[in-house]
Amino acid sequence: MERRAIERSDMLYREIDRNKIFTGTAAEEDRSRMNICFVMSPGYKELEADFLKFATEKSMVGLKGHRSVGGFRASCYNAIAKESVQALIDCMQEFEKAH
């Protein structure tokens, strides 16, 4: 189970690190395996609501971050399939290509 948790979170962190539109909020050594937080990169902050709407249209729900902080939180609990993480990554890449 731990191996699968590491695999899922690593997939998403790799995309956040690669994608020009998104930035992780935790230092690499402090990254959570379960709750992966990220924000829009500088220069893209005005697209936050657009991404949330786009993701919701792609059936990605529950991504909105805390109301006082903003950004996004992807929860990768044990019941989440690797395919669901890949679907979020695909959504992020599609949004990046459009902007």
* pLDDT tens digits for range 42-96: 999 999 999 999 999 999 998 998 887 789 999 988 888 899 999 999 999 999 9
Number of domains in the chain: 1
CATH number of the domain at 24, please.
3.90.1150.10
pLDDT of residue 5: 85
In angstroms, what is the C-alpha Rg of the chain? 13
Q: In the block, which residue shows the tokens 């996004």?
A: 72
pLDDT of residue 74: 94
Taking residue 36's Cβ as centre, other Cβ atoms within 10 Å add up to 24
For the record, the structure tokens of 41 come out as 């990169």
pLDDT of residue 77: 86
Strand stretches in the chain, DSSP E: 22-24, 35-40, 72-75
Give me the domain span that covers residue 9.
2-98
- State residue 47 phi and psi, 5-degree precision: -95, 5
Q: Is the pLDDT of residue 2 over 90?
A: no
pLDDT of residue 69: 76
